[in-house]
Amino acid sequence: MGEDVVPFNRPYATGRELGYIQEAIDVSETAAGGPFARRCEAWLADHHGSAAALLTHSGTGALELAALLAGVGPGDEVIMPSFTYTTTASAFALRGAVPVFVDVREDTLRIDADLVAGAITPRTKAVVPVHYAGAAVDMDPLLELAREHGLMVIEDAAHALPSDYRGRPLGSLGHLGALSFHETKNLTCGEGGALLVNDESLAKRARVLFDKGTDRARFLRGEVDRYTWRDVGSSFAASEISAAYLWAQIESVDEITASRRAVWDTYHAAFAALEDDGRLRRPSMGTDGAHNAHLYGLQVTGPPGRDEVIDALAARGVQAVFHYVPLHLSEAGRRHARAHGDLAVSERVSGRLVRLPLWAHMPAAPVQRVIRAVHEALGAEAPATARP
Ligand SMILES: *Cc1c(COP(=O)(O)O)cnc(C)c1O
């Protein structure tokens, strides 16, 4: 047997998660809205300067709540990249709205105001920038465009805690922002998410929709003597078990981010020469803010092609994965959405992208093994530090 496989992801636990879950059990608080959930929400609202932060069962739940709050319905259009995760689009399609896919920039793999501007029609109601890989969409021109056209801005910041755009935390710039705490994200509680409500005028209704369409929050504050059905809504909240787990992660956010950045920076330095040789393209994170090292995705310019590289890495015990079949090419994308113009970059990048193993506190040995394997897979000589 050779060495163990270097997994793509290894969810990081701080060691305090179980103790906090035990605390929640000890005080008989296991449903939504308990002390850990309030702590997480207070931290998230404070970090982002949001009017409210609502802890949800998933990032998808946060996007679905955002779509409900945006009030979009049949015939309304919502502009977003095709190069994103399924639920960026399905959250709006679920309301009968039409996702309108635009291409992403060749350099950053993110949308910008120029790409969005051409897709605006009288039916456009909202735009959903996705902060891919935890680095910022160029938000100022996009926010200006949205203001001019009266569009709601809903940030898909699922990758992006705690990254920023010119000093402003991602997720805090649009009317609404969605975060994810899925196992694959930087901070996790298995499954979880949050909706950041940045537009104060949406906060009251957000709370009611989040509370299954009731005014339970006002009842708990003693403002009404019973709570009743006030609006549409659903069960969006995370349980206190998840919140307890997440609180341990939030407490360690700086340490988690720093350790991921160290791995990311090591990869980036190690692949500079391969980029100079024209064998691959390293990720371009832009200069608009600090990124959280959510993922390291390199584009192989081949030959060898993307699948051959992934297979060659697998043969060396390194689990690498591709990213995003563009949504406009998917079965449901064709049925529920439409593409605006030519999405050539999304299609090309999807065929080239290889994401490398990266997790918090990933030790030096597997990092060097990945670096060595990438060089071998591309037929290049590995740098001295990465030689066996
Ligand atoms: C992870 C992710 C989501 C969905 O989050 P879940 O918590 O898995 O529901 C949405 N959008 C993007 C870009 C994501 O990466």
Contact 187, 246 (CB under 8 A): yes
Residue 60: CB within 6 Å of ligand 1? yes
CA of 309 to the centre of ligand 1 (A): 26
Nearest atom (ligand 1) to Cα of 130: 13
- Would you state the structure tokens that stand for residue 33, as one six-digit string? 């809205």
Question: Could you tell me if the CB of 90 is within 6 A of ligand 1?
Answer: no
* Cα torsion angle, 16, 20, 25, 30, sign: negative
Of the chain, the percentage scoring pLDDT greater than 90 comes to: 94
Q: How far is the CA of 48 from the centre of ligand 1 (A)?
A: 19
| pLDDT value of residue 335 | 97
- Yes or no: say if 55 and 207 are a contact pair by the CB < 8 Å rule: no
- Report whether 92 contacts 72 (CB < 8 A): yes
Q: Do residues 352 and 300 touch, judged by C-beta distance below 8 A? A: yes
- For the chain, the average pLDDT equals 96
DSSP result, 154-169:
EEE-TT-TT-EETTEE
User: Is 142:170 a contact under the CB 8 Å cutoff?
Assistant: no
Residue 173 CB partners (closer than 8 Å, separation 6+): 139, 143, 153, 155, 165, 198
Atom of ligand 1 nearest to the CA of 193: 7
Q: What is the pLDDT of residues 191-235, one digit of tens each?
A: 999 999 999 999 999 999 999 999 999 998 999 999 999 999 999
- For residue 239, the CA-to-ligand 1 centroid distance in Å is 18
The edge-to-edge listing of strands for the beta sheet with 353-355 is 280-281, 297-300, 353-355
> Is 124's C-beta closer than 6 angstroms to any atom of ligand 1?
no
The answer to whether the CB of 69 falls within 8 A of the CB of 125 is no
User: Could you tell me if the CB of 85 is within 6 A of ligand 1?
Assistant: yes
The class of domain 17-251 in CATH terms is alpha beta
Tens-digit pLDDT profile for residues 8-35: 999 999 999 999 999 999 999 999 999 9
Average pLDDT of the residues in 2-11: 88
Between CA 71 and CA 125 the distance in angstroms is 9
193 CB within 6 A, ligand 1 = yes
Q: Measuring from atom 15 of ligand 1, which residue has the nearest CA?
A: 158
Q: Are strands 98-102 and 77-81 parallel, antiparallel or unpaired?
A: parallel
Q: What b/e string do you get for 190-228 counting C-beta neighbours within 10 Å, with b at 16 or more?
A: ebbbbbbbbeeebbebbbbbbbbbbbbbbeeeeeeeebe
56 lines ligand 1 (CB under 6 A): no
Statement: 253-386 belongs to CATH 3.90.1150.10: yes
Domain ranges of the chain: 17-251, 253-386
Please name the amino acid found at residue 82.
Answer: S
Is-contact 179 161, C-beta < 8 A? yes
Q: Which pLDDT score is estimated for 1?
A: 40
Q: Which of 65, 103, 66 is nearest to 84 (CA)?
A: 103
pLDDT of residue 388: 63
Say whether pLDDT at 2 is over 90: no
Q: What is the DSSP string of 76-98?
A: -EEEEESSS-HHHHHHHHTTT-E
Residue 286: pLDDT over 90:
no
